Amino acid sequence: MKIGEKFKPHPNLKKVYGVYLLLTAIPMLFSTVLPIWAVFTFAPEVWSEAGVYLFIPLIAVLMIIGFIVYWINKYYDSITYVLEKDEVVVERGVWWKMRHVVPYSRVMSVDIIQGPISRRFGVGSVHVHTAGYTGPAGGSAGPGTRGAEACIWGVPNFTEIRDTIIGLVRGRPLFTTPGVTVPDVFSEMLEELRRIRKALDKPSS
């Protein structure tokens, strides 16, 4: 894992999306094919007159599935991740481009999540949480879970990425701005105490 180098999800992420699509499409296809079969089998008189109209829902479902397959490929191509020295950057979006920048100084926790389908294809997700973030719950974080401010999903080395982020976060002052020098408060207090002691040790005139 190189700092500052862009990387993408594993191609298996498209397979994960494909499985989700298949699980959704099967009931939809069944509900549109069943009426066609029933009318053709049990009502031939209706089939001869209006059977062609029964294909309209099926054609609509097939068009939706085709569009989603196209969208999955375009969406995958739009995703990039970068672990910079001071922040994690996630970019994605087909029509509406989104760029999430999370400074390490604001990171409160870093979680890894791997569902059964993702596990089958050897990929997982890294969820970066910050204090006070009010993103949408649910999604890939799971039902009822507070959404992460940045997600790195569809990667096989998710444990390594989590450890890298934690290593970059550890030792940084909380709630600071990248590139801004944070004053050493304790050193300043110690210096002030030394000056007070010197002033007290001076003999009175």
The domains of the chain are located at: 12-78, 83-169
Query: Could you list the mean pLDDT of each consecutive 10-residue stretch along the chain, which spans 205 residues?
Result: 90 96 96 92 85 91 96 96 94 92 91 94 95 54 60 95 92 57 58 74 63
What pLDDT sits at residue 143? 38
What pLDDT sits at residue 139? 40
Q: Are 153 and 162 spatial neighbours (Cβ–Cβ below 8 Å)?
A: no
CA angle 89, 76, 83 (to 5 degrees): 20
What pLDDT sits at residue 134? 52
Task: Tell me the C-alpha distance between 114 and 164, whole Å.
Answer: 18
AA identity, residue 75? Y
pTM for this model (two decimals): 0.74
What pLDDT sits at residue 131? 77
Q: For the segment 23-63, what is each residue's pLDDT rounded down to a tens digit?
A: 999 999 999 999 999 999 998 888 888 878 999 999 999 99
What pLDDT sits at residue 136? 52
What pLDDT sits at residue 188? 66
Q: Give kind and range of the element (H or E) at residue 30.
A: helix 12-42
Q: Are 83 and 1 spatial neighbours (Cβ–Cβ below 8 Å)?
A: yes
Burial (CB < 10 A; 0-12, 13-18, 19+), residue 151, is: buried
Q: For the segment 4-13, what is each residue's pLDDT rounded down to a tens digit?
A: 899 999 999 9
